[in-house]
Amino acid sequence: MYFIELNNGVEIPQLGMGMAAIGSWQQDDEYVSEIILKAIAVGYRLFDGASVYGNERALGRAIKESGLPREEFFISSKVWDTEQGRSKTHDAFARSLERLQLEYLDLYMIHWPVPALTRETWEAMEALYQQKKVRALGLSNFRKSDIEQIASFSEVRPVCNQIELHPYFTQQPLVDYCQFHKLAVSCWAPLGSGSTWSGVAVKEKPIVDPVILEVAERYSATPAQVILKWNIQQHRIVVPKSEKLENMSTNFSLSEFNLSNKDIQVINGLNCNKRLGGDPDYVHKNNLTVKVPD
């Protein structure tokens, strides 16, 4: 397993399991727990959750049923747009902990930037950090201007920024900015957003790009393995989601090959600024219509 040391000294696995829409959007039942238990059996320890994914109870059950010590896991969650603000953030965090049946989180992130509420939200998160209820604080989908806003008042530095990043949307200027300021870059939808819930057709995803397929063939690897290794070799965190045991296993087995610098540059060259998910410039109004389940 590969690890990155965050800027506060906490170690995070570079490869984890994304929790969005396992089964279907906001599904929270035994099926979801079973998928997570399979991932744990494969070796996954980082589980990237969020209150709005609506499946924190299933994750909590799986952690308990696994029989593994809590310290072996790295569990993250995120505060949704409708939960931001000082007291709301405290309440949202408490509800996430209760659903997960955990005493603390390893990472708590602001899911999307809401600049009017960022200071209140972050200061509430800083209080949770000082109380040792969370080991690290992070950002998700933050633009350079949003990070600069945090830097202007924060007492606790964010450790990461989780952004949409895949070969068609590399966000290189933002990645460079984050890495210069020692914010780890975490990639959501590294293989392209899920077809069933995002509406993005498989043919639009980088995982079927001829360049990726050719590189995969040369390394006797799967296209997904190539994209995940492309990220890991560039010191990024990846949280792909899979419900098939075979895909979970192959996604996790990345130690048998390393991409050449030339191949990394060729994949970098696939960027066409093609965003498959929400745009932080416009998504907030729609996010307000999406409810976090109880």
Q: What CATH number corresponds to the domain at position 239?
A: 3.20.20.100
Residue 104 has pLDDT above 60, yes or no: yes
Q: pLDDT digits over 175-201, tens only?
A: 999 999 999 999 999 998 654 445 677
pLDDT at position 227 = 97
pLDDT at position 193 = 62
Say if 33 falls within a structural domain: yes
Dihedral over Cα of 22, 25, 31, 33: its sign: positive
CA angle 148, 158, 252 (to 5 degrees): 125
Say if 287 falls within a structural domain: no
Say if 1 falls within a structural domain: no
Say if 138 falls within a structural domain: yes
Beta-bridged to residue 161, according to DSSP, are 139, 185
255's tokens: 């130690």
Which amino acid is it at 152?
Answer: S
Active site residue 168: no
pLDDT at position 15 = 97
pLDDT at position 199 = 66
User: CA 90, CA 106: separation in Å to the nearest integer?
Assistant: 16
User: CA 110, CA 25: separation in Å to the nearest integer?
Assistant: 20
Residue 109 has pLDDT above 80, yes or no: yes
Q: How many domains does the chain have?
A: 1
List, in order, residues 6 or more apart from 170 with CB less than 8 Å away: 268, 271
Average pLDDT over residues 149-154: 97
Other CB atoms within a 10 A radius of the CB of residue 162 amount to 25
Q: pLDDT digits over 208-237, tens only?
A: 999 999 999 999 999 999 999 999 999 999
Q: Give 127-150 as a 3 state SS string.
A: HHHHCCCECCEEEECCCHHHHHHH
Q: Lowest-pLDDT range, 118-127, 143-152, 185-194?
A: 185-194
Say if 289 falls within a structural domain: no
Residue 4 phi/psi, 5° resolution?
Answer: -125, 140
Say if 216 falls within a structural domain: yes
pLDDT at position 204 = 82
Q: Return the residue matching tokens 């639009």.
A: 204
Average pLDDT over residues 152-177: 97
Say if 31 falls within a structural domain: yes
User: CA 129, CA 159: separation in Å to the nearest integer?
Assistant: 12
Strands 107-110 and 74-79, by their bridges, are parallel
pTM of the model: 0.95
CA angle 80, 159, 104 (to 5 degrees): 60
For 85, the domain range is 12-275
Q: pLDDT digits over 37-82, tens only?
A: 999 999 999 999 999 999 999 999 999 999 999 999 999 999 999 9
Average pLDDT over residues 167-178: 97
Residue from 48, 46, 39 nearest 2 by CA: 46
pLDDT at position 195 = 47
Average pLDDT over residues 286-294: 95
Say if 2 falls within a structural domain: no
Given 44, 53, 108, 168, which residue is catalytic? 53
Higher-confidence residue of 137 and 199: namely: 137
What mean pLDDT, rounded, does the chain reach? Answer: 95
